A and B are shown apart, each in its own frame.
Chain A
């Protein structure tokens, strides 16, 4: 398996960094094994020729234009209007650290 392995140790570390996850060396090894097993299974998608198939991101896009009775109403977008949002005090009550107005975090830049 090792010469056809899709995901290397370095790949797992790189992806973990992108995803802001901290992994122990054990976790890296475990995740490498699992990701390779899953991606080996996913590889069967390449059997299908999809050169002329449009990607589908959302269900409504397939229904719009099919002539199905539901299709027309699904293509309507809502008006872009300002609406009230949650009260700041109630939102800030959930914050791990706050001065009541802002979220407080550890320092971002060295001075």
Chain B
């Protein structure tokens, strides 16, 4: 494989090179497998790989190419899948000891759609345990190291998904985002990551953290590639009652239309105290480029922004405490040995199987839902969730998309925040708002710090208006 396009590793580059016979899916797969073998010892993005499974998928594409059949959209494209998503017969740990050895009997809809579109699965990707974390340090299997600086975090919880793309160990990956878990690691690792609108992608086969917030989305090196992947995985699914019946547009039709005449909002609350100076400079630089390209930049206010983190950590933990009740040693995963009673077996299994952050969130969620506290915490947080959502609905009556930093800082050092949960939660300060409101967003690289650490700009769009944020992202990327 020598052509420049395949070396750059774009989806269309790989697909067309295979179609033209310039390379084979097998050769592409082997190149990426060799990169994983060479790089991943220091990055630790993958939790499991299956060499033969990937080569079998690649061989099917090569057989099609040999017969000059039309190749599907993702033909021969090497993918990685976050380990909270199921692929039948393959380990799905969710980054937790409690699911060690579990092999799910079914495949997530988003993963199946990738497979049907010709993707090649290199392996399952590291993440914070049950997707709970902002640094990937909560993985029971050890943290992911940022490919741009190995002593720094990849971000989380989809740290492996971001780092695999950044290190050239996969062309695209799937991650999940509940409060920022796609966008923040994309920003830290210098890649593009999409939070699709709630309901755009089926959650069937996603090991649940907080069901009203959880979403599945793609990572890749370019906006065009994430838009291509979203076009494949989006759409209605009878297996997820919250998936939307709205048709999926062809994002490629509009992606190159530019930003001339668009109204882009810049919310004052996202550029206040706590924003790192280098991040501010990079994001403001990106905004100026979009202005120069013909966008009208408008200062806006999203007045309830500061209440998003507290509301999020009440709602997300409440839902988590309920979702994680299913891990009890009865049906799958770990069971603690030598228990005399069922109740003791539950407690010992959960004590052995869950890490500290998961226990912390289960306890917090149980507390805010418990008798006497429900109204003060859970109901209150749901009311604030409506106020935050109404902030966005009002803003989108005035602007087409909203521009913010993705994270308040570049990637921090491993261990820097791991003993202070509140400091860690604040890493999500600019991302939890869109999670609560259900709107879509994308993080696109827009510069680097003096130390060479990537900085991302977050582009937020209306419900089901991914086409617009891809247009803005594509413009930013090409400027």
Contacts and interface: CB of A to CB of B under 8 A. Distances in A.
Interface of A: 7, 11-12, 15-16, 18-23, 27, 30-31, 34-35, 37-39, 41-46, 48, 50, 53-60, 62-63, 66, 68, 70, 73-74, 76-78, 83, 86-87, 90-91, 93-97, 103, 105-108
Given A70-B246, A73-B246, A106-B342, A20 B328 contact: yes
Contact of A37 (B345, B348, B370, B422): B422
A48 B307 contact: yes
Nearest to B197: A59
A20 B347 contact: yes
Contact of B104 (A11, A94, A105): A94
Nearest to A55: B382
A27 B269 CA distance: 37
Contacts of A34: 360, 421
Contact of B366 (A18, A39, A97): A18
Q: Helix, strand, loop or mixed for chain B's interface? A: helix
Contacts of B307: 44-45, 48
A35 B366 CA distance: 11
Contact of B212 (A23, A54, A58): A58
B168 interface: no
A95 B332 contact: yes
Contacts of A106: 339-342, 344-345
Contacts of A12: 363
B354 A78 contact: no
28 contacts: A7-B367, A11-B367, A12-B363, A18-B370, A19-B325, A19-B362, A20-B325, A27-B359, A34-B421, A37-B421, A38-B313, A42-B381, A43-B310, A48-B307, A50-B384, A50-B387, A54-B383, A55-B379, A55-B385, A83-B238, A86-B105, A94-B104, A94-B105, A95-B330, A95-B331, A96-B334, A103-B331, A106-B341
A38 B421 contact: yes
Contacts of B359: 21, 23, 27, 31
A16 B363 contact: yes
Top 5 closest pairs, chain A to chain B, by CB: A59-B438, A55-B382, A96-B335, A50-B383, A56-B386
Interface string B345-376: 11110110010100110111011001000001
Most chain A CB within 10 A, of B241, B332, B333, B383, is at B383
Given A15-B370, A45-B307, A97-B335, A22 B313 contact: no
Nearest to B340: A106
Contacts of B330: 95-96, 103, 105
Given A48-B387, A70-B464, A108-B342, A31 B363 contact: yes
B383 A46 contact: no
Contact of A21 (B102, B106, B350, B425): B350
A103 B342 CA distance: 12
B331 A94 contact: yes
B81 interface: no
Contacts of B347: 20-22
A81 B341 CA distance: 38
Contacts of B363: 12, 15-16, 19, 21, 31, 35
B105 A53 contact: no
Nearest to B439: A59
A31 B422 contact: no
Interface size class of B (residues with CB under 8 A): 35 or more
Given A19-B321, A38-B421, A42-B313, A59 B102 contact: no
Contacts of A83: 238
A50 B339 contact: no
Given A55-B382, A108-B341, A86 B335 contact: no
Contacts of A50: 380, 383-384, 387
A8 to B, nearest CB: 11
B32 interface: no
A38 B360 CA distance: 10
Contacts of B102: 94
B43 to A, nearest CB: 30
A59 B315 CA distance: 13
Contacts of B343: 20
A72 B424 CA distance: 39
Given A21-B354, A42-B377, A55-B379, A86 B106 contact: yes
Interface string B90-104: 000000000000111
B389 interface: yes
Contacts of B208: none
A77 B306 CA distance: 34
